[in-house]
């Protein structure tokens, strides 16, 4: 039975709402991935007004609800949450919950996800923080959600990339939760803003000297605090982001190796190839050929 059929069977809603649910897209995914990784069951971009609502339970799935405009109300486990811009709700769809429009038009993206790792992240996040997460300063989660949505729309047959994007969002949610308990919030905010720079502006020329001037903090303090939170040095993390972006370009475009290197911030092709091989064990060309030969 398809996920769409299971979703409609578990849903309590009027006929017009069920039509909008039918419009959700379900990307193809192999059994090999569903057995081990996080994966997308269905996703969509929803724009609704009063009296929009639905109730859902007994569905083997989790979902993210990311509000972009207006506001919605989530009722679950005798608690109510206002879903507004700057928040993401994380819901176990096996549990009864009700979702309704509160401030309209309510515009949100929804992702139904599953896979062995998802339950761990859900339990870790919801046990202490509840079902609604408010983004912290410098959060890269909205960017990662938009990135995932674009990949789903443009590369529907790339389930490994979809899985990686979902995992990135889940890990980032855990990191932000730990940030709430930081004893020095001012320093913490700067470090997370630096990480946000690396995540979203990795193609720029970012150096420790540049960060010192931008954040009025010594490079030694930046390195110490960054390693304390992420267990990797700032420059190594920046290179990691560049290589991850290069991997995606290698698999999803036909751009030349030199062009991809420049696109992610390596002006010197030899430096790009050397750093790529150091991180992956193979050259960019070998990485592309290996993926094309072993597509799932």
At residue 112, the pLDDT reads 96
Q: Which domain holds residue 79?
A: 3-139
Angle at 192 between CA 187 and CA 195, to 5 degrees: 130
Residue 171 lies in a domain: no
Q: What are phi and psi for residue 213, nearest 5 degrees?
A: -70, -40
Residue 170 lies in a domain: no
If you write DSSP's letter for every residue of 38-93 in order, what string do you get? -EEEEEEEEEE-TT-EEEE-S-S-EEEEEEEEEEEEEEETTEEEEEETTEEEEEET
List, for residues 89-110, the tens digit of each pLDDT value.
999 999 999 999 888 889 999 9
Q: Are residues 101 and 196 in the same domain?
A: no
**Tens of pLDDT, residue by residue, the chain (296 residues):** 688 888 888 888 766 566 666 678 888 888 889 999 999 999 999 888 877 888 999 999 999 999 998 889 999 988 899 998 888 999 999 999 999 988 888 999 999 999 999 999 999 888 767 898 888 766 788 889 988 998 888 877 888 889 999 999 999 888 887 766 655 666 667 888 888 888 878 888 888 999 988 888 888 888 988 888 788 889 988 998 898 888 888 888 888 999 999 999 998 989 999 999 888 888 999 888 877 666 54
Q: Is the peptide bond before 30 cis (omega within 30 degrees of 0)?
A: no
Q: Are residues 133 and 189 in the same domain?
A: no
């Amino acid at each position: 039975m398809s996920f769409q059929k299971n979703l409609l069977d578990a849903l309590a809603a009027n006929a017009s709402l069920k039509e909008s649910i039918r419009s959700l897209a379900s990307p193809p995914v192999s059994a090999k991935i569903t057995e081990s990784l996080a994966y997308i069951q269905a996703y969509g971009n929803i724009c609704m007004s009063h009296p929009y609502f639905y109730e859902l339970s007994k569905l083997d799935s989790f979902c993210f609800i990311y509000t972009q405009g207006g506001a919605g109300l989530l009722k679950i486990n005798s608690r109510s949450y206002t879903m507004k811009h700057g928040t993401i709700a994380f819901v176990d769809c096996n549990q009864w919950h009700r979702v309704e429009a509160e401030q309209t038009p309510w515009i949100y993206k929804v992702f139904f996800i599953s896979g062995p790792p998802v339950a761990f992240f859900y339990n870790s996040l919801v046990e202490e923080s509840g079902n609604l997460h408010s983004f912290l300063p410098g959060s890269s989660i909205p960017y990662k959600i938009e990135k995932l949505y674009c990949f789903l729309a443009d590369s529907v047959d790339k389930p490994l990339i979809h899985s990686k994007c979902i995992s990135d969002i889940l890990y980032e949610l855990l990191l932000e939760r730990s940030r709430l308990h930081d004893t020095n919030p001012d320093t913490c905010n700067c470090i997370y803003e630096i990480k946000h720079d690396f995540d979203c502006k990795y193609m720029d020329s970012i150096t420790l000297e540049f960060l010192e001037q931008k954040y009025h903090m010594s490079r030694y303090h930046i390195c110490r605090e960054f390693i304390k939170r992420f267990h990797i040095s700032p420059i190594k993390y920046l290179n990691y982001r560049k290589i991850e972006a290069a991997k995606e370009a290698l698999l999803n475009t036909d751009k030349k190796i030199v062009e991809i290197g420049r696109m992610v911030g390596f002006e010197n092709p030899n430096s790009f190839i050397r750093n790529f091989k150091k991180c992956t064990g193979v050259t960019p060309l070998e990485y592309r050929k290996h993926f094309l030969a072993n597509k799932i």
